[in-house]
Amino acid sequence: MEINKRQATALLFFSTILWGSSYIFLKLATNAGMHSGLINACRGTICALIGYLLFFKQINRLTRKDLKLGLEIGVINYLGYYLQTAGLRYTTPAKSSFITALYVAIAPLILWLFWHERPRRKTYFAITLAVIGMAVLTNVGQNGLHLQYGDFLTLLSTVFWALQIIFFNKIAPQSSSSWVVLFMVGFWQGVFGWLTFFGTERATFGQIHWMQALVPIVILAVGITFLGQGMQIIGQAHTDATSAGLILILESFFASVFSVVLGYDRLTPQLVFGGAILLLASAMMQVDLQSLPFFRKK
């Protein structure tokens, strides 16, 4: 699919809105008694089935390279989810979301170390703004940031989120089709999710209220994993990894907005100011500053 950078940015932006809404449906699923392994197993399996039904012609022509790339992203994706979810058991959601957002700073560092891509000057300022915005949004300064075991696990997960951003930008386009990548992401998310469920969560199966869990799981699988992940994969193939990361970091902002709209949280100055700073950091990466009158050389 051939799209321009503006269309790619729009896809990433809508993907971020979907990812932000996912926290609500995850909360509904966990409230219904589902654990993370089973949630990922269901959403990944449904995503893979939908992908195959719609794009079976491309998927039936899977190459060895597709299988290799699919396994790599499957492992990266699973470890990011697993470590982040495990860390949440031992830390607060605010600290978790703030630490997770640090992937926006880790991705350029990995690109510099392994791909020798030196960040643009404005990248340093945009990343600094993004970290400040997340600190304000999560109120982590007032609550304190003393690293505990859960924080360490979350910090490890940010490495895999950074790697996923880079993978979608640099390696996924080498596959035979974006839909093949999406299918493989869902497939391996399902496989690792089922292994986790049967290995550690099987005893919780009888506690699940399926009438409450069914709708959020379907929305997570179809609306978030299939559509959101699909838009992210296509969008990232046409933009750079750092810019994509600074768009996707808005996920926490949109999660807070949805939480306020649905009555889970109240509107606070931190949400307004933190979100505004994040939007500014993201916009900064999308604008050619040299084209603005203020930055033009006289």
Q: Closest Cα to residue 47, out of 59, 35, 33?
A: 59
The verdict on pTM exceeding 0.85 is no
What burial letters (b/e) apply to 186-204, b meaning 16+ CB within 10 Å? bbbbbbbbbebbeeebeee
Contact 54/257 with Cβ under 8 angstroms? no
Mean pLDDT by 10 residues, the chain (298 residues): 79 89 82 87 94 92 88 88 76 68 83 84 80 75 64 86 87 83 91 93 91 93 91 86 80 78 77 79 64 48
Question: Quick one: pLDDT at residue 202?
Answer: 92
Question: Quick one: pLDDT at residue 292?
Answer: 46
Question: Quick one: pLDDT at residue 295?
Answer: 46
Strand ranges inside the chain, DSSP E = none
Contact 33/207 with Cβ under 8 angstroms? yes
Question: Quick one: pLDDT at residue 82?
Answer: 79
Q: How many domains would you assign to the chain?
A: 1
Q: Closest Cα to residue 126, out of 104, 111, 153, 99?
A: 104
DSSP class of 288: -
Q: From CA 162, how far away is CA 109, in angstroms rounded?
A: 9
HSE-up (13 A, CA, CB side) for residue 285: 30
Task: Find the domain containing 215 and state its range.
Answer: 5-295
| Sequence-ordered list of residues with C-beta below 8 angstroms from that of 294, at least 6 positions apart, any chain | none
